[in-house]
Amino acid sequence: MPEDKTVVTQGALELSEETRIRLAELRALSQKAEAGDKDARRKLRLMVRASSEEVIGRASDVGRRAGRTLAHTAAGGDLLTEEALYVKLDAMRTEIAGEDPTPLEVLLAERIASLWMLTTLLEVLLASEYRKNVEGGPKRLSPSYLIQQSRILESATKRYLAAIRELARVRKLQATAPPVQVNAQVNVLGG
Amino acid sequence: MAWEERKRGGLYYTRSWRSPHDGRVVREYVGSGPLAEIAARLDRTKRELAKAKREQEQSELERLKALAAPVFEVSEAAEILAHAYLIAAGCHRHKGEYRRARG
């Protein structure tokens, strides 16, 4: 893997503690509501309205930065490739989000684009490492290393496919479900 | 890999490995004297190189995991939000698929 010299502000690539707490609350309320707790469903509606703007915004932001970091690593110092990957990521995100997307669709599109970048990067790395092993020589990697790397790729691929399914589900149900208003301003093109 | 002390005096270099055929540990008696010393140094160098390679591979894997972690975290956050949104909108899951609640 090319040496990554990106200087990323500490914490810029992770969700804040506050966001994590909100997500944990949303998850707990969703589980209760799903189990039939009507009060939990009412609270969930209120919480989705009240806090998802901020949570979606922050998650989208981290997702966009993570995608760019991956593009930077994949480019391996080639500025033209790096710029092309940024453009590709932006175009992909915009295309997947579609016209007039809801903030949730923007986040789900962000998730798909960054997972696409991750799976592509891992596939390329793994392919080049398999080739090294076929060719032999001192740079041969151990089978356990290749297995572990394949597991990371497998995990990323599963999430990537699940992300696509999730967006399709949300779109299908959004078309018929009564709307839960989420007012969030998310910059699709990033910057 | 070990130096064995013999009863009649002197050190004897042996190396052990697991047989790839039946998994049993095989001990090879290499010898004593300067040639055994060379064999021992060679084995030590091989072990050190293998250890360095393992450490390098481990650090490379850590780097890959660190690269994937933010994407996985955002992915999980998006999943929680999508689920919360759908449940709040009156959907429920049936055999892993979301359905609109009746009524």
Q: Does B31 touch chain A (CB under 8 A)?
A: no
Cα distance from B63 to chain A (closest Cα, Å)?
9
Residues of B in contact with A177 (CB under 8 A): 86, 89-91, 100
Question: Of A19-33, A48-62, A63-77, A149-163, which gets the smallest average pLDDT?
Answer: A48-62
Q: Where are the alpha helices (DSSP H) in chain A?
A: 17-34, 38-75, 79-97, 103-135, 143-174
Inter-chain Cβ pairs, chain A and chain B, closer than 8 A: 151
Cα A87–chain centre separation? 17
CB B14 within 8 A of CB B1: yes
For residue B86, which of B76, B99, B67 has the smallest C-alpha distance?
Answer: B99
For B29-50, what is the mean pLDDT? 91
Q: Tokens for A18?
A: 């506050």
What are the two backbone dihedrals, phi and then psi, of residue A185, each rounded to the nearest 5 degrees? -100, 115
What are the two backbone dihedrals, phi and then psi, of residue A129, each rounded to the nearest 5 degrees? -75, -35
Measure CB to CB from residue A33 to each of B71, B87, B98 and give the nearest one. B87
For A160-167, what is the mean pLDDT? 92
Q: Does B77 touch chain A (CB under 8 A)?
A: yes
Residues of A in contact with B98 (CB under 8 A): 169, 173
| Beta carbons of A108 and B82 less than 8 Å apart | yes
Question: Of A33-42, B78-87, B93-102, which gets the smallest average pLDDT?
Answer: B93-102
pLDDT of residue B1: 63
Cα distance from B58 to chain A (closest Cα, Å)?
8
Structural domain boundaries enclosing B32 = 2-100
Question: CA-to-CA distance for B40 and B28, rounded, in angstroms?
Answer: 12
More confident residue, A76 or A51: A76
Q: How many domains does chain B have?
A: 1
Question: CA-to-CA distance for A177 and A181, rounded, in angstroms?
Answer: 12
pLDDT confidence of A180, banded at 50, 70, 90?
low
Q: What is the ipTM of this complex?
A: 0.79
In the predicted structure, residue A117 carries a pLDDT above the cut 90: yes
